[in-house]
Structure 1
Amino acid sequence: MRRPSMRFAALALACLAGLGAPAAAELSPAEQQMSETVDAEYERTISVLENLVNQNSGTRNTEGNRAVMAMLRPEFEALGFAVEIIDQSEVDRSGHFFARHEGREGGTRMLLIGHTDTVFEPDAPFQSFTRNGDSATGPGVVDNKGGVAIMLAALRAMHAAGTLEDANIVVALTGDEEDFGEPAEIARRDLVEAGQWADVALGFESLAIMDGNDMGTIARRSSNSWQLTTSGIQGHSSRIFSERAGDGAIYEMARIISRFRAELPEPNLTFNVGLIAGGDTASLDEQGVRAQATGKTNIIPAIAIARGDFRTLSDEQTQRVRERMEAIVADHAPGTGAEIVFDQGYPPMAPTDGNRALFERLNLINADLGLPEMGLLDPAMRGAADISFVAQYADALAGMGATGEGSHGPEETMDLTVIPRQATRAAILMSRLAAETR
């Protein structure tokens, strides 16, 4: 269960009420030093990023992910973190990088989340970092190696200013965010335990920008998959729709999918059919991404299979949508059968008062830095992420990482100028939280 966050929310509201619209540049000497450190280490941060990007770490590249973790170990150990590589061979994945820093007793417990893996495996043609002035292209440069570099820059700034000493922080960099191992109970066990420990979770996935403005993320939708199998009575097509032959498996599949489209829509819900096959035979491969089918125009099909996903903003919405889908599937056409099975991937990160309070704290920092006020991003604009696994336990704020364009594509490009403002925001937010007693 989520721990109550009313004290945190009340504190943020009190700050807002007492200060009104905060004046710019209201930074403490330590905060000013953090800003200066981030600026001074700009090229160093880019150099770290280049090294990370040039090491392939596709999700299935165990050695590559371990190499990235080996690069990061001395960086975190130099800041006083104890580093552990958590084995995940049980679920056929590279493992997780966890770094722990023990600070002041009773201080805010913070969980920083990112990942080392990318969608680009060793056989992908896109393999190297290329800088073009204030931008850089490369596999994972935004998602998520840019976010990891920004996280590290923020922690180095805190160390230089002396604010890291009191901070209670766990850094969790998963090695399989792009395609986590199954079952999730094992693959995300350590992350969930860290979330249960934490008061605050900060996700260093990409910063969203809309119309040129930085946006805050206090909610992300879930990612749930489903597989639907329909059956019919195979026979001569001239008997289709008769009492004895029924409607056949493909018509039953079409009926169900059509009703999904007509009856499921509601706010914050999307649902998709990604793969479909049917005929007198139909099957999927082990990963469920390729289909085979046989059939003839004059044979009533005996089987049809479809796979898809749906995305929701809360566990309650997930359960409600599942029940509606199951009811539609159960309402069979004549002479047919149907079964639907679900697999919940990423849970939702629902918008909460605690998340909103964290976001208000971030906007206070924006005012102190002389940066524009951030708006809230529509959760429909974000995909799922690891922070969702811990959002039910801790107040959560996502989008603390890099920004750019073309993520997951062969022209993935990062705007390097985001490093100073994102790292400085994060360093000041974590320092202020570390100074509080929870």
Structure 2
Amino acid sequence: MKRLLFPLLFVGLSASAQSLSKPETRVIATIQNQLPETFQFLEKVVNINSGTLNKEGVRTVGKLMADEFEKLGFKTEWVSLPDSLNRAGHLVATRQGKKGKKLFLIGHLDTVFEKSLPMEPFTRINDSTATGQGVNDMKGGDVLVIAALKALHAQKLLDDTSITVYFTGDEESSGGAESRTDFIERARQCDLALAFESAQGLQKVTTGRRGSSSWTLTVKARTGHSSRIFNELGYGAIYEAARILTEFRRTLGQEEYLTFNPGLIVGGSEVYYDNQTARAETVGKTNIIAGSALVKGDLRFLTEAQKEKARARMREIVDKSLPLTKAAISFNDGIPGMEPTPANDGLRQQVDKISRDMGLGPVVAVDPSQRGAGDVSFIAQYMPCLDGLGASGKGAHSIEESLNTKEYPLLIQRAALLIYRLTR
């Protein structure tokens, strides 16, 4: 494995030092000095598989991070979940004070890479890129939080602050609403939330992101000899499923921020589906009219109102059955949407000011259609929220996932200054 030294860059400071306070310049210098150990720790946690269902791996990564928080004066605890959820649990680190805003910082310990997949270890490709499982989504973001807090602690700037750090263990495949009960309760005791999912470079942050839910369409029809289709036996289940999906696309396909993807479709004489494995089987012949069809998909939306309006329209379409067919659709909630509110944009403006003060230029909001669902959305209705503050890179959720190692130090610096200014 080729190893390269990461440059220690003081980008922007010489041009805009007058815009930063003395404590802030000391924080940036501390972050730069700590970069070697920051990258060493990142490599260590990336090289531990923590796929959502690898509960031991998730807990191991959580323990390593808990040790780091405890060195910074945080009290840590592990939030266990019921065995029925088959999830590892969550790491919480807290400190209580009276100064400034009460912050809720969000990350997650798990990755999409389960233990059964080939291991892609942390590898330094060149002076600007490192690769590895979860290196930007989101172990890079978790380590960024620790590095920022570590620098503030070194300068005694965490004294008398109130910060809750909540790293979930099942963001990539949630154990359901029960898994987020404690998360929501603790967040509501704070004033605002900062989430450290992957950054889209230095110039963008996330003030809004779409929510996700799922839907299941089932169709039953008369079956019999194929020569009698369209006549006394009606249209069959597959034609009815095709009609419904076409109408979904035709009537709702152009609405901004709304998508509805049919990810699985099966049809035939009989249909079988296993929820545990997400596998489907069907039996049918070309000379038999299909008696059953099943479609499973997701629905993504920006607001709850948009979600409910789309669901109502989808139900109307489903109810207009072709002759001798009967369809039904059901919906399951997943992660709510995070509406881009003025309060969220107020946080973006503070990041924009810090970025300009650092000499890095303006920061704008990402188009919500470019972000998937995330943990921050569970609490967006209760407080101002900002996301996309973590590590930047490419290829998340793939074997080509990478970290931009030149931007990473600057993102740590920006996060540290944001936490500092919010807690003054």
TM-score normalized by the length of structure 1:
0.90
Distance 1:25 1:260 in 2: 56
The superposition leaves residues 1-23 of structure 1 with CA deviations (integer Å, 9 ceiling, x where unpaired) of xxxxxxxxxxxxxxxxxxxxx97
What percentage of residue pairs aligned between the two structures are identical? 44
Gaps of 5+ in 1: 1-21
- Partner amino acid, structure 2, of 1:206: S
Select which of 74, 79, 94 maps to 1:81. Answer: 74
Per-residue deviation, residues 353-406 of structure 1 (Å, max 9, x unmatched): 100000001111111111110122111111111111111111001011001111
- The verdict on how the C-alpha distance between 1:298 and 1:291 changes in structure 2, with shifts beyond 3 A counting, is same
- The amino acid across from 2:122 in the alignment is F
Match of 1:145 in 2: 139
How far does the alpha carbon of each residue in 1:291-337 deviate from its partner, in whole angstroms, 9 at most, with x for none? 10011111111100001111111111011111111111111111010
- The corresponding residue for 2:203 is 214
1:73 to 1:23, Cα distance in 2 relative to 1, 3 A: closer
2:275 is matched with 286
**Distance in structure 2 (CA, Å) of the matches to 1:272 and 1:288:** 19
What is the SS of the residue equivalent to 1:293? strand
Q: Does 1:102 align with 2:90?
A: no
Preserved contact between residue 261 and residue 298 of structure 2 (Cα < 8 Å): yes
- For residues 399 and 277 of structure 2, the distance between their equivalents in structure 1, rounded to whole angstroms, comes to 25
Structure 2: distance between partners of 1:255 and 1:100: 53
Which residue of structure 2 lines up, in the alignment, with residue 190 of structure 1?
182
- CA distance in 2 between partners of 1:229 and 1:111 (Å): 42
Tell me if structure 2 keeps the 8 A contact 1:139–1:410: yes
Q: Does residue 37 in structure 1 map to residue 25 in structure 2?
A: no
Partner of 2:240: 252
1:322 aligns with 2:311: yes
Map 1:129-278 onto structure 2 (within 5 A): 129-132=122-125, 133-181=127-175, 184-209=176-201, 214-242=203-231, 244-265=232-253, 266-278=255-267
Instruction: Indicate the residue corresponding to 1:14 in structure 2.
Output: none
Q: Which residue of 2 aligns with 1:50?
A: 43
CA distance in 2, matches of 1:30, 1:166: 16
CA contact (8 A) 1:167 1:431 kept: no
* Counterpart position of 2:3: none
SS in 2 for 1:197: coil
Distance in 1, Cα, partners of 2:182 & 2:130: 33
Kept in 2, the 8 Å contact 1:34–1:161? The answer is yes
Q: CA deviation at 1:24?
A: 6.3
Count of paired positions:
407
Mapped partners of 2:128, 2:355: distance in 1:
22
**8 Å contact 2:392–2:408 — kept in the other structure?**
no
CA distance in 1, matches of 2:206, 2:382: 17
SS in 1 for 2:203: strand
Letter in 2 for 1:258: T
Amino acid at match of 2:327: A
The one of 280, 284, 293 equivalent to 1:304 is 293
**Which letter maps to 1:253?**
A
1:104 CA drift (Å): 1.3
Report the alpha carbon displacement of residue 161 of structure 1 after superposing the two structures with TM: 2.1
Check the 8 A contact 2:140/2:390 in 1, yes or no. yes
The letter of the residue matching 2:350 is R
Tell me the distance in 2 between the aligned counterparts of 1:365 and 1:25. Answer: 12
For the aligned residue pairs, the C-alpha RMSD in angstroms reads 1.4
Q: Which amino acid aligns with 1:260?
A: F
TM alignment of 1:16-31, pairs within 5 A: 25-31=18-24
TM-score (norm 2): 0.93
Residue ranges of structure 2 left out of the alignment (5+ in a row): 1-14
Give the CA deviation at 1:26. Answer: 1.1
Distance 2:345 2:113 in 1: 34
CA offset at residue 25 of structure 1? Answer: 4.0
Paired residue secondary structure (1:304): strand
Alpha-carbon contact 2:94-2:165 (below 8 Å) kept: yes
Report the 3-state secondary structure (helix = DSSP H, G, I; strand = E; otherwise coil) of the residue aligned with 1:154: helix
Aligned-pair distance for 1:287? 3.1
| Other structure's SS at 2:19 match | coil
